Amino acid sequence: MTSATRFSVILILPLTIVVVAFFLLPMAELFARSFVSRNGGITYAEILATPRYLSSLGATLIVAALTTVITLALSTLVGLLLARSRFPGRSLLLAVLTFPLAFPGVVVGFLVILLAGRQGLIGEVTRLATGEKLVFAYSMTGLLVGYLYFSIPRVLLTIVAAAEKLDPALEEAARSLGAGPWRVLSDIILPALRPAMLASGALAFATAMGAFGTAFTLATNIDVLPMVIYTEFTLNANIAMAAALSIVLGLITWLALAIARQASGASVAAAG
Amino acid sequence: MTSGVSISVAGVGKTFADGTQALRPVSIDVAAGEQLAILGPSGCGKTTLLRIIAGLEHPDRGGAVLFDGRDVTRLPIEKRNVGMVFQSYALFPNMSVIDNVAYGLRVRGMARQARHAEARRVLDMMRLSELSQRRIDQLSGGQRQRVALARALAMKPGVLLLDEPLTALDAALRDELRAEIDALLRSLEITTIYVTHDQAEAMVLGDRVIVMEKGGVAQAGSPRDIYFKPANTFVAGFIGSMNRIDGPITGGMLACPAGHLPVRAADAASASVRFRPESAKLVPAGQGGLTLEIERVHFLGATQRVYLRHAESGLALIVDGNSRLDLVPGTKVGLAVDPSNFIML
Ligand SMILES: Nc1ncnc2c1ncn2[C@@H]1O[C@H](COP(=O)(O)OP(=O)(O)OP(=O)(O)O)[C@@H](O)[C@H]1O
Ligand SMILES: [Mg+2]
């Protein structure tokens, strides 16, 4: 062994230990325990055969997908406006927008209850206006509002940063070639923002898939997957099922991130 | 291709929101098919003027831009049919070369086959055919520049506006492309406005040159006029190299510490005469009106530039001449200038 290779081995050793001990071993354990169910069947087959698990998976996917789509639409719109305008208080506004990033999911859930819970702001206003109390904190809508609350700032800031880096001459060139504002948006600006949208959108999706605190606080009638995993593990002591559901959740999230990385990587390369 | 439109800029000024007056009201007429060069130092308002003509910027109240006599002042750029070439090229990174060139035709609704055929024709003309499928980041600077020009030309615009299109390129490529662009534009007969701070570019490409200074027009004229008959001291100093001698004129003779020079001018207690480095001639010391010392000689191949100095007064002059003449720094020489070559301002 040359001294150079010995040196790199010494460097790699601690990393290897950390990866094996804290990452690979628990993962392997989780994976190993995820196959044989409590009743001696195959957990993954049981998931497919149990409506409760399937509907939970479906609901989680729908909430995460809706969160991603709505977040991207709103953030792109607002982000483009923010990137193009200069007004007093702009940087303060951007700073305030990052505020929700500082809250854990539990606090976000609490905020949603304050907003749309039984004693919530929206309930009071609608009661005064129509006589009917509008309460949606404990429904799918409440969960969605909570997820939007913490995904929008992250995505918005990424898109503002990407939009500010756009060469204004690109848009002017497109206009000189006859393109109106909508064509410029669809042909030039959105393609240029695509990598940022994919990367931040995937992150929003992944976060929404795995978010637990908000769902837990809202104690809703919707069972999102992380809640089901929690219930299986703590209340039912069904470790095999909790492990199998965790693997499913992990795979979906990992896939979303991988696809986004692939897509944004390729388009980043294409954009030079 | 189409022949160009005529452009009329009438009383166009521009004050930005922050109070910067980038353009004092200027009026310029460009004939259909003319190649106009706008030349001036950094910050003099060249880009602002070009952007107002393009429709990317609105002039201050009272200014108007007319294409073929039609008022387009309020028309946005996408409705003006102007071709633009930007200093940064602004090629679309998400499209191939041919899709870039065909983009304007696509916006017009031309079918894919037809617009690609048209784009290929323009790419052929610019000798870019082999690059048509390339991505933009696979092109060199010079190639990008030509694609940007091809993209603008594919629209068959009535007006072509170029803002320092060659500035980002190295000198050799700049010379080559300058000649290429000139030949192309002359064959197409598009009305062209070419903004540059490079004198050589302005002289080669402009049928007419407008020299700008601090948001106004300092002089408009043919390259020859601008060079040989500068209208004011700014143009005289900005274009090319210029010698200047100060002194009193009595009886048709200008007196200065280095000697006397015959001039065609009335008596004056103090005057300035100017002349180009190439309009003076070196003669043996004692002959000619002035006697100076050779300070340095820069051999440039076809010519050489001789730096002369009058030690006692500090008067410094430059003379361009025959490079075969072997001159030794430190020796004294005489200087003769034909009175017809003096520029009096
Ligand atoms: N959007 C703007 N807001 C405020 N001032 C501006 C704006 N654009 C240009 N200016 C100012 O107007 C003046 C003229 O600018 P312009 O870009 O037209 O100069 P230029 O002749 O093109 O210079 P250069 O050769 O450096 O490109 C400058 O003082 C510049 O700082
Ligand atoms: Mg400029």
In a domain, A265, yes or no: yes
Assess whether the C-beta atom of B19 lies below 6 angstroms from ligand 1.
no
Q: Is the pLDDT of residue A269 over 60?
A: no
List helix spans (H) across B215-261: 223-228, 233-238
Residues around ion ligand 2, judged by CB within 5 A, are B 47
Assess whether the C-beta atom of B13 lies below 6 angstroms from ligand 1.
no
List helix spans (H) across A165-212: 168-176, 181-184, 190-210
In a domain, A243, yes or no: yes
> How many CA atoms lie within 13 Å of B345's alpha carbon, on the beta-carbon side?
18
How far apart are the C-alpha atoms of A37 and A40, rounded to whole Å? 5
Q: How far is the CA of B170 from the centre of ligand 2 (A)?
A: 18
- pLDDT, residue A265, reads 66
State chain B's mean pLDDT as an integer. Answer: 93
Point out the least confidently predicted range of A138-152, B34-48, B50-64.
A138-152
State chain A's mean pLDDT as an integer. Answer: 87
In a domain, A30, yes or no: no
Query: Residue B192: which pLDDT band, with cuts at 50, 70 and 90?
Result: very high
- What is the pLDDT averaged over residues A45-57? 91
- CB spacing of B107 vs A271 below 8 angstroms: no
Question: Which chain B residue is nearest to residue A271, measuring alpha carbons?
Answer: B93
In a domain, A9, yes or no: no
Helix axes B141-153, B97-107, angle to 10 degrees: 20
Domains contained in chain A, number: 1
Q: Are B335 and B319 in contact (CB under 8 A)?
A: yes
CATH of the domain at A110: 1.10.3720.10
Q: pTM for the whole thing?
A: 0.82
Q: Are A179 and B108 in contact (CB under 8 A)?
A: no
- pLDDT, residue A268, reads 39
Contacts of B175 by beta carbon, 8 Å cutoff, 6+ apart: none
- Of B14, B18, B20, B60, best ligand 1 pocket probe by most atoms within 8 Å of the beta carbon: B20
In a domain, A1, yes or no: no
Assess whether the C-beta atom of B45 lies below 6 angstroms from ligand 1.
yes
- CB spacing of A169 vs B77 below 8 angstroms: no
Long-range pairs for B177-182: beta carbons < 8 A, 24 or more residues apart: B177/B142, B177/B145, B177/B146, B178/B204, B178/B205, B179/B204, B180/B146, B181/B149, B181/B205
Q: How does pLDDT run across A69-123, given as a tens digit for each residue?
A: 999 999 999 999 988 888 888 888 888 887 877 788 888 888 888 888 888 899 8
- pLDDT, residue A85, reads 82
Most confident of the ranges A42-46, B100-104, B278-282: B100-104
Q: Is the pLDDT of residue A267 over 60?
A: no
Question: In this predicted complex, what is the ipTM?
Answer: 0.85
Exposure of A160 by Cβ count < 10 A (0-12 exposed, 13-18 middle, 19+ buried)?
buried
Q: Are A162 and A191 in contact (CB under 8 A)?
A: no
- pLDDT, residue A270, reads 33
Sign of CA dihedral A150, A154, A157, A163: negative
Which residues in chain A have their CB less than 8 angstroms from residue B101's CB? none
- What is the pLDDT averaged over residues A163-183? 94
Q: Is the pLDDT of residue B2 over 60?
A: no
Query: Residue A271: which pLDDT band, with cuts at 50, 70 and 90?
Result: very low
In a domain, A190, yes or no: yes
- What is the pLDDT averaged over residues B45-73? 96
In a domain, A36, yes or no: no
Which residues in chain B have their CB less than 8 angstroms from residue A183's CB? 107
Alpha carbon B171 to chain centroid distance? Answer: 15
Element (H, E) at B273: strand B268-275
Q: How far is the CA of A214 from the centre of ligand 1 (A)?
A: 51
Higher-pLDDT residue of B216, B186: B216
Query: Residue A1: which pLDDT band, with cuts at 50, 70 and 90?
Result: low
Q: How far is the CA of B19 from the centre of ligand 1 (A)?
A: 12
Nearest CA to ligand 1 atom 11: B22
- Buried-state track B300-313, b at ≥16 Cβ within 10 A, e below 16: eeeebbbbbbbeee
Exposure of B325 by Cβ count < 10 A (0-12 exposed, 13-18 middle, 19+ buried)?
exposed
Could you identify the atom of ligand 1 that is nearest to the CA of residue B46?
Answer: 21
Q: How does pLDDT run across A204-247, given as a tens digit for each residue?
A: 999 999 888 888 888 767 788 998 999 888 888 899 999 999 99
- pLDDT, residue B174, reads 87
Which residues in chain A have their CB less than 8 angstroms from residue B108's CB? 178
Partner residues linked to B322 by β-bridges: B303
- CB spacing of B92 vs A176 below 8 angstroms: no
> How many CA atoms lie within 13 Å of A71's alpha carbon, on the beta-carbon side?
33
Distances (CA, A) of A37 to A46, A128, A251: 8, 53, 19
Distances (CA, A) of B140 to A84, A114, B143, B144, B145: 30, 59, 5, 6, 9
How far apart are the C-alpha atoms of B82 and B76, rounded to whole Å? 11
- pLDDT, residue B1, reads 45
Range of the domain at A134: 50-271
Give the one of A169, A176, A270 whose C-beta lies nearest to B82's C-beta: A176
In a domain, A136, yes or no: yes
Q: Is the pLDDT of residue B325 over 70?
A: yes
Q: Give the CA radius of gyration of chain B.
A: 25
